[in-house]
Homo-oligomer: A and B are copies of this chain.
Amino acid sequence: MKRVMLTVAYDGTDYCGWQVQPNGDTIEGQLNKHLSELLGEPITVIGASRTDSGVHALCNLAVFDTQARMPAEKISYALNQRLPEDIKIQKSEEVASDFHPRKVATRKTYEYKIYNAQFPNPTMRLYSHFTYVPMDAEKMQEAAKQFVGEHDFAAVSTFKPEVESTVRTIYDLSVTRESDLITIRVTGNGFLYNMVRIIAGTLMEVGRGRMEPSFIPEMLASGDREKAGPTAPAQGLTLVSYTFEK
């Protein structure tokens, strides 16, 4: 018996998110099905990040146990032959038998992309959120700085009763503009439900002039979801990197 970790990239457009659901195709469901067929035994993966419907990833992680003889590092090649075009393994490796991807200290980076022009660009539509409302990226960057550090992020998350603490640390949050494309890049030790999308929605309120950057600390301190901006649409969000703290 060995424990294997997969690094998984996917285009979330056509999936109901990561987690297996009774009705609807999911990333986890695809991995379970094709791993079970490949290895000839029932496989159930444990995912690191349960991304939502429509969210993309370059490097989500999945762990599973197998009795198969196939070397861990060969599984990526064999599994990619079976997986659909929109899910591809980037790496497969053996890990310690007690390794659990949600029970170790991590550093995750997400990017949220906004295509900000007069008209939508069809070749960007699946991986960005379009808005024709002019966005001031410098003001958004000013606001972004206010999120950095250890804070209670309840105001920028969707309430889940089972979550014990809403305190998290954001190591870095930046907003850059290159022509019509605005990229919000955020690195933290973990993110609450919808947190990155609500931060993106809040930064867009700042970008369009409806909220001042100086309001961010007050908004966070209030813990009031109503004071933050709306949840930005899923397709702009991509999980871009995942590292374990040593």
Contact = CB atoms under 8 A, between A and B. Distances in A.
Interface of A: 9-11, 56, 58, 76, 80, 85-90, 118-123, 125-127, 238
Nearest to A125: B85
A204 to B, nearest CB: 21
A89 B118 CA distance: 10
Given A85-B125, A125-B85, A90 B76 contact: no
A48 to B, nearest CB: 17
A9 B122 contact: yes
Secondary structure type dominating chain A contacts: mixed
A123 B9 contact: yes
A21 B123 CA distance: 23
Contacts of A58: 121, 123
A86 B88 CA distance: 24
A115 to B, nearest CB: 11
A176 B56 CA distance: 26
A147 B89 CA distance: 38
A159 to B, nearest CB: 30
Contacts of A10: 122-123
A85 B123 contact: no
B86 A125 contact: yes
Contacts of A119: 9, 76, 80, 88-90
A125 B127 CA distance: 12
A108 B179 CA distance: 20
A122 B76 contact: no
B238 A11 contact: no
Contacts of A125: 11, 85-86
A80 B9 CA distance: 32
B85 A122 contact: yes
Nearest to A86: B122
Contact of A122 (B87, B118, B120): B87
